[in-house]
């Protein structure tokens, strides 16, 4: 177990292994998103109440799930970095933040657009909407804090602390619909019960969610590799690698 952690914590090892894994995640992600898009947009039946505007669910829910998962992953990476000083974890946390902000924005934007025909308003200070907006500010805060220091190490530590503290917002987002039931409806999917939707509606949604997760993994691997090269630019193995490549 320790050798496993030790290996993956080594930038050189991580660089070569992630290079092999990356194409698989891109391929699977592209396939899932293509199938999910076609199915969700053209083949899934229209909702009996909302008509076709419900098709926004196929981008809204995956983005919202992913945004929260990215924050948790980033906080976990920050914890690993702070406790064990594993630099790869900090590099991964660095590249996760912008995608997290993008996904949170996508969830908020698609929700606002969906709200117009469904709720008659694009925004309300509802608990779920507000806590998602806070998530966006947390992502932006982590990005800003990291770049606010002249020393990279100070920036990394400050961003890690904010990520670890900010994770408290995640259960608030999750339970906001049950604690303060104002506008946003409670979760459609629960692990404990079967979905309250016909199969031909939720299956494409599941496919989209998985596709979005694979997209996140692929993009994180790709950008962590760039981050490794940037931070290890003076290391012998990076120089050798750059001399080999033409």
Binding site for another protein (CB under 8 A): 6, 9-11, 41-46, 51-53, 55-56, 59-60, 63, 84-88, 98-99, 102, 105-106, 109-110, 113-114, 116-117, 215, 219, 222-223, 225-226, 229-230, 233-239, 242-243, 245
Q: How far is the CB of 178 from another protein (least distance, A)?
A: 25
Q: How far is the CB of 168 from another protein (least distance, A)?
A: 27
Q: How far is the CB of 193 from another protein (least distance, A)?
A: 26
Under 8 Å between Cβ of 214 and 29:
yes
Q: How far is the CB of 20 from another protein (least distance, A)?
A: 16
Under 8 Å between Cβ of 178 and 129:
no
Between helices 169-179 and 57-84, what is the axis angle to 10°? 140
Q: Which is nearer to another protein, 9 or 141 (CB)?
A: 9
Dihedral sign, CA of 180, 185, 190, 194? positive
Q: Which is nearer to another protein, 9 or 195 (CB)?
A: 9
Q: How far is the CB of 56 from another protein (least distance, A)?
A: 4
Q: How far is the CB of 94 from another protein (least distance, A)?
A: 12
Q: Which is nearer to another protein, 27 or 226 (CB)?
A: 226
Q: Is 2 helix (H, G, I), strand (E, B) or coil?
A: helix
Q: Which is nearer to another protein, 190 or 230 (CB)?
A: 230
Instruction: Give dist(CA 124, CA 100) in Å, integer.
Output: 23
Q: Which is nearer to another protein, 102 or 134 (CB)?
A: 102
Instruction: Give dist(CA 135, CA 115) in Å, integer.
Output: 19
Q: Which is nearer to another protein, 45 or 171 (CB)?
A: 45
Q: What is the DSSP string of 156-221?
A: HHHHHHHHHHHTTHHHHHHHHHHHS-SSSPPPS--SSS--SS-HHHHHHHHHHHHHHHHHHHHHHH
Length of the chain: 246
């Amino acid at each position: 177990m320790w050798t496993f952690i030790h290996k993956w914590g080594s930038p050189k090892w991580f660089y070569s292994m992630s290079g092999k894994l990356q194409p698989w995640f891109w391929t699977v992600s592209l396939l899932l998103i293509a199938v999910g898009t076609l199915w969700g947009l053209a083949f899934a039946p229209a909702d009996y109440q909302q008509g076709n505007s419900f098709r926004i669910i196929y981008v809204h829910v995956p983005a919202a799930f992913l945004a929260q998962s990215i924050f948790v992953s980033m906080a976990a990476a920050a914890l690993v970095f702070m406790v064990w000083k594993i630099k790869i974890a900090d590099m991964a946390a660095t590249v996760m933040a912008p995608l997290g902000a993008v996904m949170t924005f996508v969830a908020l934007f698609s929700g606002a657009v969906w709200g117009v025909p469904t709720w008659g308003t694009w925004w309300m200070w509802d608990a779920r909407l507000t806590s998602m907006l806070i998530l966006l500010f947390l992502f932006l805060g982590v990005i800003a804090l990291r770049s606010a220091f002249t020393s990279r190490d100070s920036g990394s530590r400050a961003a890690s602390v904010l990520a670890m503290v900010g994770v408290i917002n995640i259960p608030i987002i999750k339970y906001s619909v049950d604690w303060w039931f104002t506008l946003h409806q409670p979760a459609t999917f629960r692990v404990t019960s079967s979905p309250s939707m016909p199969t031909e509606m939720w299956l494409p949604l599941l496919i989209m969610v998985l596709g979005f997760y694979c997209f996140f993994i692929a993009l994180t691997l790709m950008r962590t590799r760039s981050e490794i090269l940037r931070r290890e630019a003076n290391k012998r193995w990076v120089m050798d690698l750059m001399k080999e490549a033409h």
